[in-house]
Amino acid sequence: MRISMFSQDVFITQTNLKHKNILKELKKLKFNKVGSQTPPTFDTKQHISEDFNVLNNFSYGKEITLEMEKVLKLAIESFGFNCDFYIVNSWVNKIEPGNYSEWHHHLNFWLSLVYYPHGTFSISFAKHQMDYFDIPVKTQTTMSNTLHTFHVKEGAMIVFPSYLKHKIGYNDTNIDRYSIAANILPKGTIGVNDGKLTIA
């Protein structure tokens, strides 16, 4: 009998924000180009907003923040945790046609969140594991599956552990792809004894 002990969950839901208005404002932001993180170097056609607190300085920032907080509460509860939280930073990703991001994760954070104000795009996740063997797979199970891709539509919001490797899917459209991302830390007292920590 096979018993699944552990799994890696993500939380995804649809939101009712003013997506078209938000997208229009996102296009007005200033962006910096993201360089290739691994050799050989190539033109990533990926840009990131200059502002890493975009929700604090954005005309729809308050509405988006409130929605993110609502979704985060639902996600944290569904993950089985009992913890308050706060959004530490936020930024906008812009991917030009014919490109994608490299695999990455977010160090020093607990959860990450992405909101998609438009389009039908994708985000992929890689299993958090040590690669000891490359065993041929006959059936996809929680044990054998090492990659999962979500196809997200306008209004989607997804929450996942920050250590989970992920990448922005290939933009096969003829328009720039925009998304708003944020990193989250637990708030209050966590842990016990010599592992006790209070995060204000």
CA atoms within 13 A on the CB side of 86: 5
Within-domain flag for 106: yes
Q: How buried is 106 (Cβ within 10 angstroms: 0-12 exposed, 13-18 middle, 19+ buried)? A: buried
Residue 102 is encoded by which pair of tokens?
């490299």
- On whether residue 6 sits in a domain, the answer given is no
The reply to whether 107 falls in a domain is yes
Residue 102: beta bridge partners?
Answer: none
Give the model confidence (pLDDT) of 100-132 as tens digits: 888 889 999 999 999 999 988 999 999 877 667
Predicted TM-score (pTM) of the model is: 0.91
The closest alpha carbon to 95, from 172, 28, 182, belongs to 172
Residue 38 predicted with pLDDT over 60: no
In angstroms, the CA 72 to CA 69 distance is 5
| pLDDT reported for residue 179 | 96
Overall domain count for the chain: 1
What residue numbers bound the domain in which 192 lies? 11-129+148-199
CATH number at residue 85: 2.60.120.620
Which percentage of the chain shows pLDDT scores above 90?
A: 62
